Structure 1
Amino acid sequence: MTQKKVAPTVSTVAGNLPPSYEEANAGCPSYCCTDGLIFWEDKNIRRVFIRKVYSILMLQMLVTITIVAVFMFLAPVRFYVQTHPGLYSLSNFLFLGTYLALSCCGELRRQFPWNLILLTVFTLSMACMLGFVSSFYNSRSVVLCLGITAAVCLSITIFSFQSRVDVTSFQGILFMLCMVMLCCALVMGFVVPFGYVPWLHAIYGIVGAIVFTMFLAFDTQLLMGNRLYTISPEEYIFATLSLYLDIIYLFTFLLQLFGEGRE
């Protein structure tokens, strides 16, 4: 038998006014009122949000590693994708389309099941692009870069959750590093047609690896909810998308640094 809660009657007689909104909610554990602004923050909601993001991210990484392994270790598949570059262009088109849809359309990425469908297409297209690129590299160097990426991601995740350093406040540093990276890319665009410059590619790879390592820490701390900038628990698709791209780009720059061409 359930007990029915009866709302108290509100009296408007002077001297017997009902409590204010702040007074009525002052005892709630998830309620906080500061300078007239009301904030609701439940730690359980934040924990569920973090678990959801990392669960989806682990599925994305599993699918990506599987597709990359198929493209690398199965000789017929490797030969087919290397002789049909149109597949890479198709994957690139799907990647750009789904990325723009998920990053620019806030209502779409919060609407189930379209958000998960778009995220699935995005992951498959990115995995195919990465598998196409990895098929031209030696398998040992790809595995080495994969191991380095996993170690960096684990270290950055532990650092982001344990450290008191607020990386979300380093937006100026990230902007300057992005500008350095853009300048390196422009210089490479002018120089590469005249010949391969190893040291320039090395600098570009180092800067790119540093930038996306910092972005990984930045996006990880956005999940925590106790930093200068946080992300809403409703944006689990966008948070997953950001972390996934940080990891993939970090891997590609490490592959540019340490990867060896297939003989």
Structure 2
Amino acid sequence: MTSKLDNPPPYEDALQHPKYEPYHLQHGSADPPPPSYSPGPDMYAGPPGYWSQGGMRAAPGLSPSGMPTTIPTLSAGVPATNPREMEGFLSSQWESTSVRHAFIRKVYLILAAQLTVTFSVVAIFTFVDPVKMFVIRYPGIYWASLVVYFMVYCILICCKEPRRRFPWNLVLLGVFTVALSYMSGTISSYYETKAVFLAMGITALVCVTATVFCFQTKVDFTSCGGFLCIAAILLLIIGTVTAIVLSFHYVPWLHMLYAAIGAIVYTLFLVYNTQLLIGNRELAISPEEYVYGALSLYIDIVHIFLFILQISGSAAE
């Protein structure tokens, strides 16, 4: 223990009475005094006027009044967001949105042209009796259109990228549209006019409702590709079994059941492909693949029409 006399004097007394010697000199300590603090010439260097009016040296990031000049960020070592970078990001987002809107308009213009051709051909095969009887008399024409349909479809799937010099994909799309329109017309010729008109109206209502639903809903159907693939396989199996059964004995309710399942499956495909077209979901179609986008929607709509036509035709009988 040490007495009060051995204790060093207080800091205030040492400043007011310099007669007190430092503590290490009074007790004969061999330790040298600590060095005095003197900042180097480069430390706190700044532009002219760096000293404040009150004699206080302004530290980096502090104004002479002592308030910080910049707001610190939580991420150390990362510079604050540059306003120019933010403007560039917003402009790029706007450009991508405008490109997507132009892509959607182009796809729906192509789709409108395809549907116009298809339903015009269907009207010819429905209202013109000589053409209708010719197709019924020579069914080989229907099978030929079916072969062309599958061949051109496979070629278009393999050539999704647009050609720069000559739009061969648009030419193939036109051939495909004619083939599928002719096939739809030959199928429509076997049904009554009332059933064809009813199928057209229901198809238009279903397609408009599904499209509006895709643009309004927050549900992401693009993540259900595996489910739709399984549904397509099941539809193929059910269709094969139904064709075998109906070839021996026609069962109206079985035919209508298969047609209803097919219409539901292709309506789901229409929703899926429409959301791929919109582009604000998990998956999206590239803006360069406008032919593929129009082709997908066109096939879905035509198949919905054909399945509904089977239901309306069976109900009319």
Please indicate, yes or no, whether the TM-score normalized by the shorter chain is above 0.5: yes
Q: 1:262 to 1:203 in 2, by over 3 A?
A: closer
SS in 1 for 2:114: helix
Counterpart mapping for 1:14-29 below 5 A: 27-28=87-88, 29=90
**Would you tell me which structure has more helix in proportion to its own residues?**
1
Question: Structure 2: which 5+ residue stretches go unaligned?
Answer: 1-80
Structure with the bigger RCO (C-alpha within 8 Å, sep 6+) is 1
> Offset at 1:31?
4.1
Indicate whether 1:127 and 2:181 are aligned.
yes
Per the alignment, residue 199 of structure 2 pairs with 145
SS in 1 for 2:283: coil
Is the Cα–Cα contact under 8 Å of residues 137 and 261 in structure 1 kept in the other structure?
no
Is the Cα–Cα contact under 8 Å of residues 159 and 169 in structure 2 kept in the other structure?
no
Per the alignment, residue 228 of structure 2 pairs with 174
Per the alignment, residue 235 of structure 1 pairs with 289
Indicate whether 1:199 and 2:253 are aligned.
yes
SS in 2 for 1:27: helix
**Deviations along 1:215-251, whole A, 9 cap, x unmatched?**
0000001111110110000000000000000001111
> Offset at 1:191?
1.7
Equivalences, count? 235
Query: Could you say which structure has the larger radius of gyration?
Result: 2
Which amino acid letter does the alignment assign opposite residue 27 of structure 1? E
With normalisation by structure 2, the TM-score equals 0.68
Is the Cα–Cα contact under 8 Å of residues 263 and 304 in structure 2 kept in the other structure?
yes
> Offset at 1:158?
0.4
Indicate whether 1:217 and 2:271 are aligned.
yes
Q: 1:112 to 1:261 in 2, by over 3 A?
A: farther
**Deviations along 1:127-183, whole A, 9 cap, x unmatched?**
111000100100001100100000000000000001111111222332332233133
Please give the alpha-carbon distance, in whole angstroms, between the structure 2 residues aligned to 1:162 and 1:88: 39
Q: CA RMSD in A?
A: 2.4
Is the Cα–Cα contact under 8 Å of residues 107 and 294 in structure 2 kept in the other structure?
yes
With normalisation by structure 1, the TM-score equals 0.82
Is the Cα–Cα contact under 8 Å of residues 122 and 184 in structure 2 kept in the other structure?
yes
Q: 1:179 to 1:102 in 2, by over 3 A?
A: closer
Q: 1:192 to 1:49 in 2, by over 3 A?
A: same
Please give the alpha-carbon distance, in whole angstroms, between the structure 2 residues aligned to 1:144 and 1:50: 29
